[in-house]
Amino acid sequence: MAAFKFSHPYLAGTRFAAFAHRGGELEEPENSKRAFAAAVAMGYRYIETDVQATADNVLLVFHDDELSRLTDGEGDIATLPHSEVRQARIDGTEPIMTLEEALVSFPETHFNIDIKSDLALEPTLALVRKMDVLNRVCLASFSDRRLSRIRDQLGRAGCTGAGPRDVAALKFASWGVPFLRSRCHCAQVPVSQYGITIPTRRFIAFCNARDIAVHVWTIDEADEMRRLIRLGVNGIMSARPSLLKKIAQEEEVW
């Protein structure tokens, strides 16, 4: 598997992008500093994560809208001040990182940041500009509207993932059906959607020819990791980073 030379610095020099999904939530506390440190110690250059904003616009590395599933706290993050949210502990032990803390603590790490709410959008854009980290962040969202706002503000300097409209545009276009043009740098896709297989050799070739990397989420089984690597995907996101590393090494793409 030869390295595809993508133009954005986020992807430069990467033969295969192995992502620790939420830091590797099946092996360490989800989206915690401990999880990120464990992934980095394993040799991971890429971490997939999420960002929420508190009522006073502090950006947190956290997936859910509210605290109760993952922490010993309760309440909707968007309605609480950071002074209160910071008391919560992931798995009862790990503090919730701010996005700035994550970027400072892991200065060599590339982050795929899923912006989970409208409230978090503008503060995230302001932070990545202030910290001058556009070369090592990819901003993603399941909201096409948020992604459009990101692209309008950052231009091609900002690496962005694919939203639902982007994925549809790329899939239809790979079949030769004219559709809306995508402005994403990374097509981060599930294996299938609405009964349609997304990452095929044709889809990957179509995206790569247009300077778009294909990353597949969230893959936690060895056989499926092997199949996708042999298919030619440009990266995999997994909640089991130790397994993904093992398979990637065996497939000689690590």
* Three-state secondary structure string covering 6-67: CCCHHHCCCCCEEEEECCCCCCCCCCCHHHHHHHHHHCCCEEEEEEEECCCCCEEECCCCEC
Residue whose C-alpha is closest to residue 237's, from 26, 33, 32: 26
CATH class of the domain whose range is 9-52+99-250: alpha beta
pLDDT number for residue 208: 96
Sequence ranges of the domains in the chain: 9-52+99-250
pLDDT tens profile 173-206? 999 997 667 889 999 999 999 999 999 999 999 9
Report percent pLDDT > 90 for the chain.
93
Give 140's contacts (C-beta < 8 A, 6+ positions apart): 112, 113, 114, 115, 147, 160, 161, 162, 163, 186, 188
With 70 as the cut, is the pLDDT of residue 2 above it? no
Is-contact 106 40, C-beta < 8 A?
A: yes
pTM assigned to the model: 0.95
Residue type, 106: F
Tell me how crowded residue 82 is: count the other CB atoms within 10 A of its CB. Answer: 18
Are the C-beta atoms of residues 34 and 94 closer than 8 Å to each other? yes
pLDDT score of 1 more than 80: no
Biggest CA-to-CA distance, the chain: 53
The answer, yes or no, to whether residue 239 has pLDDT greater than 60, is yes
List pLDDT tens digits, range 114-125. 999 999 999 999
State residue 14's pLDDT score. Answer: 87
